[in-house]
Amino acid sequence: METAEKHYENAITLSKMELYEIAIKEFDKAIIADQRYVQAHYGRGYVYYIMKDKLKAMEDFKRVIELDPGYASAYFMRGTILDDFKRYKESIEEYSKAISLNPNNADFYNNRGITFFEIEEYSKAIVDWQKAIQLNPELTNNLNTLITRAETYLFYSLALKPIKAAEKSKADVTALCNLGIQEKRKGNYDLALKYYRDAEQINSLIPNIYYNKAKILAGLGAFRDAIINLLAYYHINIMNTQFDETFLLQNMATNFFKDNVKIGENQILDVDRIEYICDNLPYARFLIIDLNLSYYAGICYLADNHKIRIANNISLDYIKNIQNGLLGKMDQYDNNLRNDEFEKIIYIIGFLFLFINTDLDQFILFDVFETFFSNKLSINLDIENIEDYIIKLLNHSDDNDEVGETPF
């Protein structure tokens, strides 16, 4: 009767002849004769791997480690199989265990280096390949090619890292803002605001966070908080916008105000004054592009505390209707209540308010949180010259010079 060792020797010979199925049968006989035969388990596992039966191979290598926890090659083979399954983190753990047991095997470092390369850990891959060359100089030509490639990828990955991080943070913020929009539509305003606050923590310089927050806050009656968020939205946008000199006011501001900034035949704000503002503060042009920004700022200014008195023809019911629209309560919102004359007045109030509260020098020095939410930028909520000016507008003075007079 043949011994376990004899069956093992037969299996090795058959494996070298690539007669793998017959070799497996010999390994089986060796293991039946001696269930703790470590080399037989390892040999059978290796042949299973060659035959691409990786699950059976893993079982044999697992059994090898159970019988002999110091068998470095078994960990190495497990790492190789895990690589094939793209379970790279686990394969690195297996390779590292093999290296700790046998730190002088070049193949162990070579394979771990390849895995590091796959997961874009280029600097670690380079270190492993350099160690493999040190242990086995015959690997020099092949590995130097890989090292050069890894060095190139490392250079570009470092260069692109800030861009990738920015793209990821923007994607994360977009996802949170979308969740906020969904919850707002359901009427879950506190949860919506939480999503927007979470988005701020990821990237505080994405303007739509503050715009979305402001609409909910205004709808809930937190007008002062809404104003702060509108200012944050405005400042971030004007910091990010490139204003080309070809963006002429004659084509934008003048035409808009000629057509829209009138009540009947009375022009409620001199177009020349708007041109003057935008010429001296080009960023004010954004307020012409983004009409809703000025409109919502005007609503908040009027509704906050006693400010409603400066436009007493604009009723609280009108403001409440707009709030319902901001909250998405379309069943409680009546578009027919919108009044062109009121909207023009509110737009001008918002335009002037945002213009007067533009403070780029201070904004540049601080992060959005510090600038607006830690009160480092003083929000001028009591602007008497706006009140005086709007009162004059609402009186429809017959004195054209007086109506055209601005506080600037």
Calpha distance 318→243 (Å, rounded): 35
User: In the block, which residue shows the tokens 């100089």?
Assistant: 137
Structural contact between residues 324 and 219, judged by C-beta atoms closer than 8 angstroms: yes
Calpha distance 198→209 (Å, rounded): 10
Q: Cα–Cα–Cα angle for 182, 188, 190, nearest 5°?
A: 115
Structural contact between residues 350 and 295, judged by C-beta atoms closer than 8 angstroms: yes
pLDDT, mean over the chain:
76
pLDDT score, position 103: 95
Calpha distance 313→335 (Å, rounded): 18
User: In the block, which residue shows the tokens 């945002």?
Assistant: 354
pLDDT score, position 283: 67
Helix extents (H) in 187-290: 189-202, 208-220, 223-240, 253-260, 271-280, 285-289
Q: How far is CA 93 from CA 66, 77, 103, 186, 322, in A?
A: 17, 12, 14, 47, 60
Structural domains of the chain sorted by starting position, each given as residue range(s) with its CATH number in brackets: 4-156 (1.25.40.10), 208-404 (no CATH)
CA distance from start to end of the chain: 110
Other CB atoms within 10 Å distance of the CB of residue 33: 17
Q: pTM for the complete prediction? A: 0.49
Residues 165-193 have a mean pLDDT of 84
Other CB atoms within 10 Å distance of the CB of residue 162: 9
Beta bridge partners of 137: none
Other CB atoms within 10 Å distance of the CB of residue 369: 13
Extract the tokens encoding 397.
């003075």
Render pLDDT for 291-331 as a digit per residue (tens, 0 to 9).
788 888 888 877 775 554 445 566 777 788 888 888 888 88
Render pLDDT for 333-369 as a digit per residue (tens, 0 to 9).
887 766 666 777 777 777 777 777 776 554 443 344 4
- DSSP for 260-286, please give it: HSEETTEESS-HHHHHHHHHH-GGGHH
pLDDT at 70 over 90: yes
Render pLDDT for 383-392 as a digit per residue (tens, 0 to 9).
444 445 444 4
Q: DSSP 3-state helix, strand, coil percentages of the chain (rounded to 5)?
A: 75, 0, 25
Closest CA to 407 of 280, 273, 289: 273
Among 45-49, 106-110, 116-120, 287-291, which stretch is predicted with the lowest mean pLDDT?
A: 287-291
Provide CB contacts within 8 A for 78, sequence distance 6+: 58, 61, 62, 65, 91, 94
Tell me what percent of the residues of the chain surpass a pLDDT of 90: 36
